[in-house]
Chain A
Amino acid sequence: MTEFHAAVVIGAGHAGLAASHFLTEASVDHVVLERGEVANSWRRERWESLRLLTPNWQSRLPGLPYEGQDPDGYLTVPEVTALIERFAKVSQAPVRTNTAVTSVRRAGDGYHVTTSDGDINCQAVVIATGACNRPVVPGLAEGIPAGVQQVTPFSYRDPGQLPDGGVLVVGASATGVQLAAEIRRSGRPVKLAVGEHVRLPRTYRGRDVLWWMDASGVWDQRYDEVDDLTRARRLPSPQLAGTPGRATLDLNALAALGIELVGRWTTVRAGRALFSGGLRNVFSLADLKMNRLLAAFDEWATASGRDADVGPPERFEPTRVPASPRWQLDLGSGEITTVVWATGFRPDYEWLDVPVVDPKGNLRHEGGMVEDSPGLYALGLPVLRRRKSTFIYGIEDDAREVIDCLVRYLGKPPA
């Protein structure tokens, strides 16, 4: 007879383990299926120098507060892996490692889960497989000459693996600015292709900018309160790096390192990369949005009587526009030998045999309740229920609420 559990959680990262924590708390029989090891993507899909964007005091999980000595620091990848492993142990999650889910389909009132190690029937499924399963590489990559090496954040480890010569980093999210800075510091000439981006200072009025996001309530803003949810869910990650010196890594900082800023890479024509002439405007949009956010922080500090706890208000220099940004680059000239794609990530639902994925490859869900598929839930996606949903400490509120819905669903008599 096929194995049965009330619930199956797919993925043993922080989101799946948080789901398990609340399922255990509600005494719901479940298993957590993991294709590799606990915190698998942290072990295998991250570059060497990466640290979390969020300060350590935010590296807390349900039942696991931060108790280290460096609340303002940022965890390295091995430290994140260790944190998630400890969470799995402390919460005694019923994890089955090296068990890849190859199919989930509806079966009666529940779901049939096929794995590399047998089948499971269940009433409810929690998808906690993450939002960053595949690096996105735009179609224009096909027009790049074979002599130029291409790497993604999944294949990139450190600058030493790249051939000598110039590097074009594409995309100015957290990934793009971090890799551009690191590769530039290795001595290589670096160009960064910049489209719409999110500029943030690392610290504001003496506090980590993510302290402000948390304290002022921005990160608690719910998905049903956000003006344009589609846009909020597609927003690139902010230009932040978690470094011991808490340095700001905006485009002015990159230009000061000698990185050449160019417009969004639009196409390859006759062996030349063509960049958008709209660079000034993406700078303006990002500067305006940052200033609006900082003004909102200032208003909050005054209204909540916190002005005395923080430094005086600051405003930062507008993003400096290069005198005449280049709009083309001969890809065959040898000026660059490597392209680094920092053009985002997408989830992978190839194994999901339930018609709940939209034409753009995203799960259709309402705050983690998958649409038109009772008993199917999701966790750990951008702005799932709040702006903080994808951050380590953002999972607790989301997981509590989603699992609460799941438990109520299990308690209902079948329709």
Chain B
Amino acid sequence: MTEVVNGVNVEALLGAREVLKGAPEAAQFTWKATSTWNNGVHTTIKLQNYFGLGEEQSHKQESVFEADHPEVFAATDVGITPIEYLLVGLASCLSAGVASVAENRGIKLNSVQASLEGHHDIRGILGADSDVRNGFNDIKVTFHIDADASKEDIEALVAQSQKRSAVFDALTNPTEVTVEVA
């Protein structure tokens, strides 16, 4: 019925929302990654399979990510630092949200760019000061959006995308994390 302006299939998403309202068990997804340590502080992470809609699912292709640490950490720097992957996740999640909300509101996006800064006191991970936390102190995201909409409408897109963002939630609210040795 509506013209797709940003390439997001909002009708499919809204359809899924209606179906899953009455089928909470099908809405339970498990995202999976496996990692292999290489050498030094360099690890390779692969992702392809996940579980959802009641069965095993698979991405069209496997994705491979290299995580390492920079030379200023005296490391080989063949990939980004693990904590930088949080910025990858946050930027992509919020951008997807902006596009989806814009689609739903009939707003044509011409360009969406975001700059992210995660402020990190590394004395925490080095154990140099036990009062300093290991993770980010804070994260700043700045969106630059060109769209056929008012400034207020664009601000509303960004606000709504945070409201419905998995990664924004995972970063701003605590999550139970269990790490075991098999």
Contact = CB atoms under 8 A, between A and B. Distances in A.
- Grouping DSSP codes into helix (H, G, I), strand (E, B) and loop, the B interface class, with mixed when no group exceeds half, is helix
A285 B160 CA distance: 7
A278 B159 CA distance: 11
Interface residues of B, number: 15
Contacts of A284: 155, 158-159
B169 to A, nearest CB: 8
A288 B162 contact: no
A277 B163 contact: no
B156 A281 contact: no
Contacts of A196: 163
Contacts of A278: 162, 168-169, 172-173
A81 B156 CA distance: 42
A277 B155 contact: no
B156 A288 contact: yes
Contact of B163 (A263, A267, A285, A324): A285
Nearest to A324: B138
Contact of A291 (B138, B152, B160, B169): B152
B53 to A, nearest CB: 21
Contacts of B160: 285
B159 A285 contact: yes
Contacts of A292: 152, 156
Contacts of A285: 159-160, 163
A388 to B, nearest CB: 25
Nearest to A230: B21
A327 B162 CA distance: 18
Given A281-B159, A281-B162, A281-B163, A288 B173 contact: no
Interface in B97-149: 138
Nearest to A196: B163
Contact of B172 (A267, A277, A291): A277
B171 interface: yes
Nearest to A266: B173
Given A278-B168, A281-B163, A285-B163, A266 B174 contact: yes
B159 A288 contact: yes
Contacts of A277: 138, 171-173
Given A278-B168, A281-B162, A281-B163, A288 B155 contact: yes
Interface in A319-351: 324
Contacts of A274: 173-174
A263 B174 CA distance: 12
A284 B161 CA distance: 12
A64 to B, nearest CB: 42
A267 B162 contact: no
Contacts of B155: 284, 288
Contacts of B173: 264, 266-267, 274, 276-278
Nearest to B158: A284
A267 B175 CA distance: 9
A400 B159 CA distance: 40
A196 B160 CA distance: 12
Nearest to A264: B173
Contacts of A281: 159, 162-163, 168
Contact of A288 (B152, B168, B169, B171): B152
Contacts of B152: 288, 291-292
A278 B166 CA distance: 12
Contact of B174 (A269, A288, A324): A269
Given A284-B159, A285-B159, 4 more contacts: A263-B172, A269-B174, A281-B159, A292-B152
13 contacts: A196-B163, A266-B173, A276-B172, A277-B138, A277-B172, A278-B169, A278-B172, A278-B173, A284-B155, A284-B158, A285-B163, A288-B152, A292-B152
Interface of B: 138, 152, 155-156, 158-160, 162-163, 168-169, 171-174
